[in-house]
Amino acid sequence: MGCSPLTEKDIFTSRKHSMDYFTSDGVILRTGYKNKLDWYLLPIREGLDNAVDFLWKYYGGSDKGSIALEITIDNLLFTIKLTNSNQRNIPIFNDLKSVFDYDVRYGSKQNMHVINRGMLGDAMKQILSLGYVLLHVNDDGRAFSDRQWDYPLVIRHNQQESKVFLTVDKAAQTGQVRIAHEEAKIEYPNTELEITLPIIKEVQSTLTAEYIEDYCRKYSLLTTDITIKFSISDKREADIRSSNTSVVYSFDIPSTHPINLLTNSNSIHSFTPEEFIAQFLNVHDKNSTTVYDVLKAFREGSHIKKSEENELSVAKLLSMQDKEYKVERLYNHLKNVLGPARVLPLPYKCNKKRAEILSKRAREFYDIDTEKEPSYKLVRGIYEDSLVSYPYAVEILAIPFKNPNERDSVSLCAVNYSVSPKENSLEGDYNWTDRNGNFKKANNIYEVLEKNGFHTYNGPISRLPSLIIINLITPKRDPHGYDKSIINTKPFTVSIVAAVARAASGIQTFRGAGYRFQDVDNYRTAKRHDINTKVNARRLLQKFLVSERGLAVTKAE
């Protein structure tokens, strides 16, 4: 790749209240990732999320959408290069200054109530600062110097290369961002994101190619409309890697159908008044953005004509003494234009074919029983209270393992098809009555599964240990406090419980599958018998004498 000389620079400095982006405690608070090993997966997950969202938005109907992820690990550095296709060279990253402005305490995805993947919304800022945070992760306050991470975050897009540098001044409590733009000669119009991170000592032995591969395969399970190519290379010395040879994993997850033409737009009915006001307060350029520009981003806004009132700039509206009254009128007007949606449009058809595709993918990574039919269910729901209304759905797939007497169930939770590096337990208050009239209570998805016969062994009536994939699909995700990785599950608990119960009904119990136990309290003593074959008492006695007493049984004359 050839680059022309530097053509432009943007330099801007954040203020004190943004310093949580540059500390370990800040990363934990913002992401919920307490395990520093997962910090290396953060840019992978957010990069994949952004790439999928871009392809969904601009390439509906295409069967050419692709993403390539290259990861290189050496003795000191962890490098990620993520590329997504953009055949039509659609402009992207038009305003990098706003993307990396640490004083802006929100991200574009946080203002949208649509099916998208990224949880943080402002993840690019956290990814940029991650190198600096890792560099200082073990600081004890004794150092006089403030070391800087000199490797930039590199973005290549639309025949342009931008290198984003960060300089943090702890004493002044500021962070300075410098963006250098160059013309990049790229052979074909793709978008590339490249980031390099330092490998801290505490993860040297655990940050392996196998660990990265495990997450990448899990992430790609539910994405069936975009081809994702992975290359993971561990080039560290043998004494660091605990292996004699370098490790390289290269694998492709091909798409099985074109990207669906998804109707994906905000609806005023999912916004509280406070959230609607924020749509105006969070506009970056308030002088050139009109009220109508804000309104037309809503599903209902396309039915509103331009008027003298809504062609005002956002800055003008917010400067008025009666701005609260005017915003309230706009809010109520939008709500009266169209009623709330009752069914959520989905990016994938949830049918038998999808169940087969997901099962086939799962077989490449998990030792599941190919002779068993997967139990696949979709439960739709609508959340309504006095302020908001929006539809959502819960997708669930359960497939028994090949040797159910040798392992426990494995559950994998996703939100809007995206799997988090941090295990998602969908915490919440689950209360329901089962079909036998028994009251049940659970605090997370694992307890819901247990009370439906999974995970915890309760004798022969337990469900066969299975791979269980649960995918919550919702246009609105309210975070629990500052940790954006934990969402409020209150709107969805009824449907989650229903989905698990229906999926469980499609999975046999040990007894139903023909397993018998030497010790009913230990599922590892289970042995399968052919329950469809009639066996007479004489034959059972012969088997018992041979296997348990060691006696020879001769054929009767």
Alpha-carbon span 390 to 382, nearest angstrom: 6
- When comparing pLDDT for 305 and 538, which is higher? 305
DSSP 184: B
Percentage of residues in the chain with pLDDT exceeding 90?
61
pLDDT-based confidence at 240, cuts 50/70/90?
low
- Mean of pLDDT values over 104-118: 73
Structure-block tokens of residue 231: 């290359």
Residue 144 has pLDDT above 70, yes or no: no
Q: Which residues contact 118 (CB under 8 A, 6 or more apart)?
A: 46, 49, 50, 53, 107, 109, 418
Residue 146 has pLDDT above 90, yes or no: no
Residue 238 has pLDDT above 90, yes or no: no
Residue 525 has pLDDT above 80, yes or no: no
Provide the pLDDT for residue 253: 95
How distant is the alpha carbon of residue 523 from its chain centre? Answer: 33
**Lowest mean pLDDT: which of 27-41, 75-89, 109-123?**
109-123
Residue 294 has pLDDT above 60, yes or no: yes
Provide the pLDDT for residue 98: 83
Provide the pLDDT for residue 5: 45
Task: Describe the chain by its helix, strand, coil percentages, rounded to 5.
Answer: 30, 25, 45
Alpha-carbon span 167 to 175, nearest angstrom: 6
Provide the pLDDT for residue 459: 75
Residue 222 has pLDDT above 80, yes or no: yes
pLDDT-based confidence at 239, cuts 50/70/90?
low
- Mean of pLDDT values over 103-110: 63
Residue 88 has pLDDT above 60, yes or no: yes
**Lowest mean pLDDT: which of 113-117, 210-214, 382-386?**
113-117
DSSP 356: H
- Mean of pLDDT values over 24-50: 92
- Mean of pLDDT values over 257-284: 91
- Mean of pLDDT values over 13-42: 85
Q: Which residues contact 325 (CB under 8 A, 6 or more apart)?
A: none
What radius of gyration, in Å, describes the C-alpha atoms of the chain?
Answer: 27
Structure-block tokens of residue 522: 């230990």
Provide the pLDDT for residue 435: 86
Alpha-carbon span 399 to 403, nearest angstrom: 12
Provide the pLDDT for residue 501: 96
- Mean of pLDDT values over 366-388: 94
Percentage of residues in the chain with pLDDT exceeding 70?
84
Provide the pLDDT for residue 117: 87
Provide the pLDDT for residue 4: 42
Residues 318-341 pLDDT 10s: 999 999 999 999 999 999 999 999
Residue 122 has pLDDT above 70, yes or no: yes
This prediction's pTM: 0.88
What is the pLDDT of the chain when averaged over all its residues? 86
How distant is the alpha carbon of residue 132 from its chain centre? Answer: 25
Provide the pLDDT for residue 535: 45
Does domain 24-139+194-253 fall under CATH 1.10.3470? My reply is no
- Mean of pLDDT values over 407-429: 91
CATH number of 352-505: 3.30.230
- When comparing pLDDT for 198 and 242, which is higher? 198
Q: Are strands 190-198 and 375-384 parallel, antiparallel or unpaired?
A: unpaired
Mark 262-294 as b/e (b = at least 16 C-beta within 10 Å). Answer: eebbbbbbbbeeebbbebbebbeebeeebbbeb
Residue 399 has pLDDT above 60, yes or no: yes
Residues 449-500 pLDDT 10s: 999 999 777 778 889 999 999 999 999 988 654 445 678 899 999 999 999 9
pLDDT-based confidence at 109, cuts 50/70/90?
low
Domain spans in the chain, listed from the N-terminal domain onward: 24-139+194-253, 268-337, 352-505
Q: What is the 3-state secondary structure (H, E, C) of 391-449?
A: EEEEEEEEEEECCHHHCCCEEEEEECCEECCCCCCCCCCEEEECCCCCEEEECCHHHHH
Longest Cα–Cα distance in the chain: 108
Q: What CA–CA distances, in Å, run from 461 to 203, 296, 359, 493, 503?
A: 42, 55, 24, 25, 16
Provide the pLDDT for residue 261: 87
Structure-block tokens of residue 35: 């395990």
- Mean of pLDDT values over 191-211: 94
Provide the pLDDT for residue 480: 57
- Mean of pLDDT values over 400-409: 86
Nearest CA-CA partner of 414 in 456, 477, 351: 477
